[in-house]
């Protein structure tokens, strides 16, 4: 078991070094701002992949997140609090 941990530790250290080298190379070309941009881009990409892999829909009703307003075409009866007005058919 300890040999597995040592191997995983080496892999983690190697990844850290590679990542640091990559960011140092970006910093040499574009400065700190470019590094921040690369980190932010990576963070957005990871969060997008997590969002896509969710087993439930992205739009959910919860008290902490407000519901986005849907267009008139996409509203289903019961989405909003006001009663739905239907047109009368003309004969």
pLDDT digits (tens, 9 = 90+) for 41-51: 999 998 988 88
Task: Tell me the per-residue pLDDT of 22-79, one tens digit each, with 9 for 90 and over.
Answer: 999 999 988 989 999 999 999 999 898 888 777 766 565 566 666 655 555 555 555 5
In a domain, 84, yes or no: no
In a domain, 37, yes or no: yes
In a domain, 15, yes or no: yes
Number of domains in the chain: 1
In a domain, 50, yes or no: yes
In a domain, 82, yes or no: no
**Domain range for 17:** 2-55
In a domain, 61, yes or no: no
In a domain, 70, yes or no: no
Count of alpha carbons within 13 Å of 91, Cβ hemisphere only?
Answer: 0
pLDDT attached to residue 87: 77
């Amino acid at each position: 078991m300890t040999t597995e941990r040592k191997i995983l530790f080496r892999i983690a250290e190697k990844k850290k070094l590679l990542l640091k080298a990559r960011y140092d190379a970006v910093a040499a070309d574009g400065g700190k701002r470019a590094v921040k941009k690369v980190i932010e881009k990576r963070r957005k990409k990871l969060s997008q992949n997590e969002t896509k892999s969710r087993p439930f829909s992205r739009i959910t009703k919860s008290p902490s997140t407000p519901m986005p307003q849907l267009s008139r075409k996409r509203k289903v009866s019961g989405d909003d609090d006001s009663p739905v007005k239907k047109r009368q058919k003309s004969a």
